[in-house]
């Protein structure tokens, strides 16, 4: 649990994990889209074995953030499945 700060498509991104049970996560994503800031709930998973992380926005556009955890950072790509090219994101633990 905790907060990570970084960028998504070169715009501010904050990930706040509010609950974790085993490999299952939930929390809030805050990011800039267009001219405004969005705050969305997410659910996701993180694998202790492979360090893969997947965060799925609940509601909104249903964006999926997928990537890897390395040390105190996470990085990967995000987008809507099959809808548009994947964009990059990264964040570091606060």
Domain edges within the chain: 2-82
pLDDT in tens, 59-71: 888 899 999 999 9
Residue 54: per-residue pLDDT: 96
Residue 82 clears pLDDT 80, i.e. is over it: no
CB 87 within 8 A of CB 9: yes
- pTM of the entire structure? 0.91
Q: Which three-class secondary structure string do you get for the chain?
A: CEEEEEEECCEEEEEEEEEEECCEEEEEEEEEECCEEEEEEEEEEECCCCCEEEEEEECCCCCEEEEEEECCEEEEEEECCCCCCCEEEEEEEC
Q: Which two tokens stand for residue 22?
A: 């085993």
């Amino acid at each position: 649990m905790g907060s990570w700060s970084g960028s998504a498509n070169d715009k501010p991104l904050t990930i706040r994990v509010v609950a974790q049970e085993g490999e299952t996560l939930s929390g809030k994503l805050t990011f800039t889209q267009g001219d405004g800031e969005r705050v969305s709930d997410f659910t996701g998973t993180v694998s202790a074995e492979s360090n893969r992380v997947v965060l799925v926005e609940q509601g909104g556009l249903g964006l999926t953030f997928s990537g890897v955890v390395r040390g105190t950072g996470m990085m990967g790509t995000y987008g809507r499945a099959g809808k548009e090219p994947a964009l990059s994101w990264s964040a570091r633990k606060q």
